[in-house]
Structures are given as C-alpha cells and as structure tokens.
Chain A
Amino acid sequence: SQQGEEDPQALSIQEGENATMNCSYKTSINNLQWYRQNSGRGLVHLILIRSNEREKHSGRLRVTLDTSKKSSSLLITASRAADTASYFCATDPLNRDDKIIFGKGTRLHILP
C-alpha cells in the first residue's frame, strides 16, 4: 500500500502546548499535503510541501519534509481549543496515476 501513516493515532495536550504529528509514506512523491477535519465535516487544506522543499510555515503551522526518510511532521504551536480535530497527511505519489493517498490520521484533542 502507498498509504501514508500518521503517528500518533491520537494525541491529547493542554491548551497552549505544541502539538507534533508525524507522517511516513512508502514511495516517491510529488508533494505532501496536510489536512484538518473537524468531526463530521469536510477537509480543510492546511499546507502543501513539495518534494524539493524541506520546511514550510503557515501561521502557527510548521511542516517539515524529509524525502530520504520518507517522512513529514506537522507542528502546531501554541495550541488552541479550536485546533481539536483529525489531521491527515496526503501524499501525491510520483508514479501512480495522479492519485492522492491519505494516511490514517491523528486525532488531536486540546484540553482546556
């Protein structure tokens, strides 16, 4: 399977702390994207990092990509209650008919 895998599967932290989620994948990619999904809702695109990029920032989000290890991390700094959601990484494989493959997701819960 080319599906990405996030870890941890679930994460609970106190509001204000930083949250780090990791994603590993198996094949070469064009890019890797992170999405957020609130319970029962659609996907919200957070950030896209291309295979030739190593780090990208967007507000409180920081994404890293290590293509040699086939892994990526998503860091959310100064977490807020509104960050409670599921987070998915999605890999756009280099050689698979242009399909984006999703990981299993990390369920993040921010404690007040």
Chain B
Amino acid sequence: GAVVSQHPSWVICKSGTSVKIECRSLDFQATTMFWYRQFPKQSLMLMATSNEGSKATYEQGVEKDKFLINHASLTLSTLTVTSAHPEDSSFYICSARARQGATWNEQFFGPGTRLTVL
C-alpha cells in the first residue's frame, strides 16, 4: 500500500514553545490530508481536514489558531501546535487520501508523532 510518513516520530518541548509536525505522502498525491489526535487509551479524534491549496476545516472544539495546518503541496501537510501546553501532550496522527475522478481512494495513515510538553 501507499506510504505516509510523519516527522518527527516523537518530540519533547517546553511549555509555551511551538512545534511543527510534517506529514508526507511518499508515493501518491494526496488531495486531502487529515489530522487526528489520540489521548492515552482513547480512540482517534479527527481534528481537521485539509485540502491542498485551501484552508483547513476544523472540527468543533479544535482551536484553529492553536493548531495551524498548512497543506501547501499534494505531498506535504504540516501541523503546528502553537504555544504548546502540557494538555496538548498527545499522539498526533495524519492520514492522506487521493481522489481519482469521482472516487476516493483508500485513506493511508502515518505512523504518528508523540508530543510531550513539559
């Protein structure tokens, strides 16, 4: 299957700093990328959907000014956690999918990034 990578795989930062997470589709052009957050022993919760070249659509309760998403190309989306606080510590997972005509292809997931805010 297609490969989606994330970088970094884990990051530790101080409270108040900003952290950028990259998500790349390695062998296909991702029309849409999704960002999920997962707290320990919980399921994945969709944070936002981003389409290449347009503004991200955020789910209810997700602060768009805190979680900045940029989808500048068909193979790269970034999530920046601004002014991170300990409660932002979580596992962040991206996924990507491509569209062929009127059909959506399977969604592929990245390996995740573990963020720890001290």
Contact = CB atoms under 8 A, between A and B. Distances in A.
Interface in A1-20: 3
* B interface, size bucket: 20 to 34
Query: Would you list the 8 A-B pairs with minimal beta carbon distance, nearest first?
Result: A42-B111, A42-B112, A43-B109, A102-B44, A104-B43, A102-B43, A105-B43, A100-B107
Interface stretch (B11-19, B64-72, B89-97): B89-97
Contact of A40 (B49, B91, B110): B91
Interface string B85-107: 00000010101010000001011
A100 B108 CA distance: 11
A43 B106 CA distance: 14
Contact of B114 (A40, A43, A100, A104): A40
B110 A99 contact: no
A100 B91 contact: no
10 contacts: A33-B106, A35-B109, A41-B112, A45-B106, A92-B104, A92-B107, A97-B49, A99-B49, A100-B34, A107-B41
A104 B44 CA distance: 8
A72 B106 CA distance: 18
Contacts of B32: 98
Interface in A68-112: 88, 92, 97-105, 107
Contacts of A35: 109
